[in-house]
Amino acid sequence: MRLCRAITTFLFLTIIMSIVPSVVSSPIAQSDIVTYGNISYGDMPPPDGSLSRLHVSGNKVVNAQGQQVLLRGAAGGAYGNWLGDSQEQQNQYTYMREWGCSTHMFVVPMPPFWDMPDLDILEANVEWAAANGMYSLIDCYESWHVGDIFGTFTEADWTTWKNAWATVATRFVGNPNVIYGIAVEPAGISAQTWVTRARECIDVIRAIDPDVIIVCEALTVNYWLDDGLNYQRTIGINRPNIIFDLHMYLFQNDYTTDTSYSGLLAYLDAKGVIWCHDNGYPVISQQCGYDSRNANGETWCRNLLQLYNDYDFSYTNWVWGPVKTDSEWLNLCTDWYGTPSVQGLVLQEYL
């Protein structure tokens, strides 16, 4: 009897030992390691498609497998300027991923009103985001985007703007995680002028990187949608692989805006946003948020994000971190450790 038990035990352990090494200690096959730059993802790759070049198909953004990708997450201030310590800066993308973010939007100061950005810092941030499976939306911040900034542009300014984008596109050519927003809240120009200049900039970028997705923003006045995206209906950018963008905010003393779902839907319809969606163009809101001092803010934000989700819009809420600037009352976090504010809790619920 003892001999039978010993033999049975031996056979059981032999079977287990033959299985365990293949499960636990076998090395990851080289074919299972996806590498970009100096980042190795090993056996925990980012979400499906985040390492493939995205493209527009109808009113959706899809990956190489044809699966829809919703670009949702948080927007940030000037890249790399949140924290002095690079490790702490890297940690922000880990916290974002833990929230469920698939995307981070960088507002990047660019010419003609600013010096050329430090592309080494920008690329480092893009790689840190990629290491956490997140796409990078690089949005060109020309100057204070109020008044008629674009209306003051000379021909030399427009050329400088396009040349800056050529420099960025050259640096990131072929990078599967990068999407470009060519201008933050263009104001002070006609729809025809914006369409003409946007086409010129798109063509400059596409001559360098033909397949990259580009974001065209709504015409805006002092943070409010002016003609919005109606230019796409009346004139048309007429370029492939374009996402159309709008920014939505509710500020401290704004108690006149209809915060209801139906009111927001009617507003977006009047600004050409719903038309874009219904006519085969994807929509993103690269900036949206509310001032916590406005008693109607949370209701407004919940209705807005529900509307975005119902229409499969992408969005990145403003602003990540405990920023101590004019965005202080819109912060998504109460500290640099990913602790959500009231606005952050709302965003987490809808991501």
Instruction: Indicate the domain borders of the chain.
Output: 3-350
pLDDT at residue 225, rounded to an integer: 84
pLDDT of 30 over the 80 cut: no
pLDDT at residue 77, rounded to an integer: 65
Mean pLDDT computed over 50-63: 89
Q: Give the residue, 261 or 44, on which the prediction is more confident.
A: 261
pLDDT interval class at 161 (50, 70, 90): very high
pLDDT interval class at 86 (50, 70, 90): confident
Q: Give the residue, 321 or 308, on which the prediction is more confident.
A: 308
pLDDT of 143 over the 80 cut: no
pLDDT at residue 301, rounded to an integer: 97
pLDDT at residue 36, rounded to an integer: 29
Residue pLDDT, tens place only, 179-215 = 999 998 888 889 999 999 999 999 999 999 999 999 9
pLDDT at residue 33, rounded to an integer: 28
pLDDT interval class at 105 (50, 70, 90): very high
pLDDT of 31 over the 70 cut: no
Superfamily of the domain at 3-350: Glycosidases (3.20.20.80)
pLDDT at residue 338, rounded to an integer: 94
pLDDT at residue 351, rounded to an integer: 95
Residue pLDDT, tens place only, 230-274 = 999 999 999 999 999 999 999 998 888 899 999 999 999 999 999
pLDDT of 23 over the 50 cut: no
Return the HEC string of the chain.
CHHHHHHHHHHHHHHHHHHHHHHHCCCCCHHHCCEECCEECCCCCCCCCCCCCCEEECCEEECCCCCECCCEEEEEEECCCCCCCHHHHHHHHHHHHHHCCCEEEEEEECCCCCCCCCHHHHHHHHHHHHHCCCEEEEEEECCCCCCCCHHHCCHHHHHHHHHHHHHHHHHCCCCCCEEEECCCCCCCCCHHHHHHHHHHHHHHHHHHCCCCCEEEECEEECCEEEEECHHHHHCCCCCCCEEEEEEEEECCCCCCCCCCHHHHHHHHHHCCHHHHHHCCCCEEEEEEEECCCCCCHHHHHHHHHHHHHHCCCEEEEECCCCCCCCCHHHCCECCCCCCECHHHHHHHHHC
Give the whole-number percent of the chain exceeding pLDDT 90.
Answer: 59
pLDDT at residue 32, rounded to an integer: 30
Average pLDDT, the chain: 83
pLDDT at residue 87, rounded to an integer: 85
What's the predicted TM-score (pTM) here? 0.84
